[in-house]
């Protein structure tokens, strides 16, 4: 599961630089559902920069005084020449809130996105966040033929669900829900799972281009370059599926070297044809 949190600039930079590893919060309804291996997307309240972190551990305490006893001051965000005082946290929370909910120390590790940047040299590739949902919706809703074969029609809610969807046995750090940009314009969205269904295969769960660039070879350029990059990174095949009967999807993927495996997956509304490209 992915969670969104805001951070002041100094805390954001400390986590980004790697020396602050424990984020301290009230253990309220929002924080109590966080679990180990979840993803937290932090937003810098000053610059709006985003950063993804994996939850490595959860430490729950009755109050901040107890939390401070169990963690060194550097790990919770103090510098060497600063004095760690649990009363500092009451600038953010009241004592009544702490007594009601307790507190939590969330140990995090920054997820490096360098792999994402390797997916393309031609276009800028970025991880997509909940704040990008309006742009994703604007791109997807114009592709009406896709949703005729693959209902229901796209919505902000369905996009958020897709951002967190995982196949069995996979974790969020295997998933790349990414956007391809040309001159700051979002031109394609992709949901990619590494090492699925086996260690040598990458799975494309979703790929859609903006209607304005379709039939100009842009989608093919993205897929061709992606496959080249994946091969260089040790993968031997790429697998995906299209809705059986969708002529546009079938034509596009076969044109780009994907062949039907003979396997089909049935859902409540449609049948998915599984295809694969050997790299």
Q: Which overall architecture, per CATH, does domain 2-110 show? A: Roll (2.30)
pLDDT at site 166: 93
Question: If residue 188 lies in a helix (H) or strand (E), which one and from where to where?
Answer: strand 185-193
Q: Are 146 and 246 in contact (CB under 8 A)?
A: yes
For 219, residues 6+ apart whose C-beta sits below 8 A from its C-beta are: 188, 207, 209, 213, 252
Q: Which is more confidently placed, 8 or 1?
A: 8
Q: Please compute the mean of the pLDDT values over residues 60-82 and round it to a whole number.
A: 96
Mean pLDDT (the chain) is: 94
The residue extents of the domains of the chain are: 2-110, 114-278
Give tens-digit pLDDT for 149-177. 999 999 999 999 999 999 999 988 789 99
pLDDT at site 114: 57
Pairing of strands 175-182, 185-193: antiparallel
Peptide bond into 65 cis (omega under 30): no
Q: Please compute the mean of the pLDDT values over residues 249-268 and round it to a whole number.
A: 97
Burial of residue 114 (CB within 10 Å: 0-12, 13-18, 19+) is exposed
Q: Which CATH class is domain 114-278?
A: alpha beta
């Amino acid at each position: 599961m992915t969670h969104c949190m805001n951070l002041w600039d100094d805390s954001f930079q400390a986590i980004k630089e790697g020396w602050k590893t424990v984020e301290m919060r009230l253990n309220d309804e929002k924080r109590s559902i966080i679990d180990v291996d979840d993803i937290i997307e932090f937003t810098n309240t000053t610059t709006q920069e985003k950063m993804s972190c994996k939850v490595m551990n959860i430490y729950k305490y009755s109050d901040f005084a107890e939390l401070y006893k169990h963690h060194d001051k550097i790990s919770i965000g103090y510098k060497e020449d600063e004095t760690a005082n649990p009363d500092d946290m009451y600038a953010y929370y009241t004592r009544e809130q702490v007594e009601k909910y307790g507190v939590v120390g969330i140990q995090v590790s920054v997820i490096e996105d360098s792999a994402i940047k390797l997916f393309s040299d031609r276009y800028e590739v970025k991880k997509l966040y909940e704040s990008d949902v309006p742009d994703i919706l604007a791109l997807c809703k114009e592709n009406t033929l896709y949703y005729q074969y693959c209902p229901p029609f796209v919505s902000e809610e369905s996009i958020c669900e897709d951002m967190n969807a995982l196949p069995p046995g996979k974790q969020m750090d295997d998933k790349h829900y990414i956007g391809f940009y040309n001159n700051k314009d979002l031109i394609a969205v992709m949901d990619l799972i590494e090492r699925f269904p086996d260690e040598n295969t990458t799975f494309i769960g979703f790929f859609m281009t903006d209607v304005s660039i379709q039939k100009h070879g842009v989608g093919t350029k993205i897929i061709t370059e992606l496959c080249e990059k994946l091969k260089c990174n040790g993968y031997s095949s790429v697998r995906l599926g299209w809705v059986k009967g969708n002529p546009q999807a079938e034509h596009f993927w076969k044109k780009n070297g994907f062949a039907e495996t003979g396997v089909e997956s049935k859902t409540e509304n449609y049948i998915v044809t599984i295809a694969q490209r050997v790299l």
